[in-house]
Chain A
């Protein structure tokens, strides 16, 4: 009995050791760990942090920051991660290890601190006021091609919301292309206007789908609206180029010179053969005439 308990305890001990050794410890010096985050937790900075996060971190750490991205990595919403000091997280982002690249050269210090703030907010949403529902309406100007988004409250009162960041997009085959500035804040009347850019190619008739979105906002829930307008340039396809006669064309589209050459060779050779046979017959025939005479 004692032996069995001993055995089990040994197994348990090795197991826990194994589990620990799977995640290599990442030592951070006391000096680095004790660094104070100079960036205040404000909406603007959180926005910066989120933008960097979606651009550089999501690929590996996943959209939910749970470590389930394209490369399996550490969960950033996990308790073991979150209990580290801001300074430790900063140090790790800054220097990197193994597959985690060092962001020293890519990001400014302030930007890294903003990312740290954003990571804190991920698990502590209650630090921000609850998000409000919004409705989004688009109207378009025809003389100067422009899109105006009007953001107002979702209830019947339709109170305009100022200072809301609206993103404008054009629909493309594989995604949405951003137009306007990176941030387009609504004015006091809840409206923001963006000019439709030049040289945008639509479908064969020039139709373009334009979208306005309130998204990834800490204070407002997502909302979007789309309109289709005949504002783009007409799409010019080059299908004729592919239907030309070319060496790489299919059988029915082989170049004329090739057809002439190949068929000429065939006709020429068979022609000679037939000519010889014909002459043989003629010789035989004349032979017969001679015999008769």
Chain B
């Protein structure tokens, strides 16, 4: 009797684990052997479904007794996220003239990617190029280079470049050597020196490689171009959070970029040509995917004294 009870208990534990792995149906099927008799009022639908139970036996269960467990399932795109979305090559255009340091993009990014205030996938910097030039604010993301120095130095193949231009990092492969941080000329990556923010809240959440969430202590984290949003056909978090219309995001192959604030879509080539766009540290040959439009016609010229960044 005791033995039987023990076995039931261990089976339950086993099932709990499996339930969270998305094999909820199995849990239901084996629980049925007990619950069917104790729940006589539920009528069967007559439709039988064959399921595999925890003892590796095939059993038939009436479909009326099956309920889905609403558990956090691991995102099914993790395996395919190394390939990139077909027919796309993403590009971001930052109009420096419109940035007023509202920092909504940063706030949104840090909230979504479980980042501490000192960790940045995206940072708005106060720039002053030389003594007599006017200062301006510059949002700086990972540049998602087409010739990425960070990917070259990764010894474990944790960080990689996809065909749609996005450079991602797999925190489950990352060993925390920080070679990529040293290699990146844009200082775009940050390291989880401490337990990540809200570590308790994210306990048990399945890892999403396109979001870098949950963050792992001792690994590197970086801007993902909001690859999870792009998979759903939505604009990245920072792009749609900007109240000033700074960001244009789109597909290079399609020659179109959409402003996240105004929702207006324009030709990428025209936008770049008419505004004399440039990329950061062009001469390094990294071929970034982010273009900057010069800080012209600003409504706000920042005072250099109130350095926030």
- Residue in contact with B87 in the complex, picked from A70, A204, A241, A243, CB distance below 8 Å: A204
Binds B, one of A12-20, A123-131, A247-255, A264-272: A247-255
Residue among B148, B254, B257, B299 with max Cβ neighbours from chain A (10 Å): B254
- Residue in contact with B254 in the complex, picked from A235, A248, A250, CB distance below 8 Å: A235
Cross-chain contact B104 with A70 (CB below 8 angstroms):
yes
Cross-chain contact B265 with A172 (CB below 8 angstroms):
yes
Cross-chain contact B251 with A173 (CB below 8 angstroms):
yes
**Distance (Å) between the CB of B95 and the closest chain A CB?**
14
Instruction: List the B residue with the shortest CB-CB distance to A247.
Output: B152
- Residue in contact with A201 in the complex, picked from B146, B152, B255, CB distance below 8 Å: B255
Binds A, one of B34-42, B72-80, B157-165, B275-283: B157-165
**Distance (Å) between the CB of A292 and the closest chain B CB?**
54
Binds B, one of A34-42, A111-119, A174-182, A187-195: A174-182
Q: Does B102 contact A (CB under 8 A)?
A: yes
Q: Which residues of A contact B249 (CB under 8 A)?
A: 174
Cross-chain contact B299 with A175 (CB below 8 angstroms):
no
Cross-chain contact B161 with A70 (CB below 8 angstroms):
no
Q: Which residues of B contact A55 (CB under 8 A)?
A: 262
Q: A70-B241, A236-B253, A237-B89 are in contact. Are A175 and B160 (CB under 8 A)?
A: no
Q: Does A238 contact B (CB under 8 A)?
A: yes
Q: Does B261 contact A (CB under 8 A)?
A: yes
Within 8 A of B (CB), among A63-89: 69-71
Q: Considering only CB atoms and an 8 Å cut-off, how many residues of chain A contact the other chain? A: 37
Q: How far is the CA of A54 from the CA of B245 in the complex (A)?
A: 12
Q: Does A226 contact B (CB under 8 A)?
A: no
Q: Which residues of A contact B148 (CB under 8 A)?
A: 248
Q: Which residues of B contact A241 (CB under 8 A)?
A: 146
Cross-chain contact A177 with B265 (CB below 8 angstroms):
yes
Q: How far is the CA of A177 from the CA of B152 in the complex (A)?
A: 37
Q: Which residues of B contact A172 (CB under 8 A)?
A: 250-251, 254, 256, 258, 265
Q: Which residues of A contact B147 (CB under 8 A)?
A: 246, 248
Q: Which residues of A contact B27 (CB under 8 A)?
A: none
Within 8 A of B (CB), among A226-281: 235-239, 241-243, 246-248, 250-251
Q: Which residues of B contact A236 (CB under 8 A)?
A: 253
Q: Does A138 contact B (CB under 8 A)?
A: no
Residue among B87, B104, B256, B262 with max Cβ neighbours from chain A (10 Å): B256
Q: Does B138 contact A (CB under 8 A)?
A: no
Cross-chain contact A203 with B102 (CB below 8 angstroms):
no
Cross-chain contact B245 with A177 (CB below 8 angstroms):
no
Q: A174-B235, A247-B152 are in contact. Are A70 and B256 (CB under 8 A)?
A: no
Q: Does B54 contact A (CB under 8 A)?
A: no
Cross-chain contact B300 with A101 (CB below 8 angstroms):
yes
Q: Which residues of B contact A204 (CB under 8 A)?
A: 87
- Residue in contact with B258 in the complex, picked from A106, A174, A203, A251, CB distance below 8 Å: A174
Q: Does A93 contact B (CB under 8 A)?
A: no
Cross-chain contact A238 with B104 (CB below 8 angstroms):
no
- Interface 1/0 per residue, B229-259 and A, CB below 8 Å: 0000111000001111100011101111110
Q: Apart from A59-B262, A70-B261, A174-B257, list 16 A-B contacts with CB within 8 A.
A: A70-B104, A70-B243, A101-B100, A101-B300, A106-B299, A172-B251, A173-B88, A173-B233, A173-B251, A174-B250, A175-B256, A176-B265, A201-B253, A204-B87, A235-B253, A250-B157
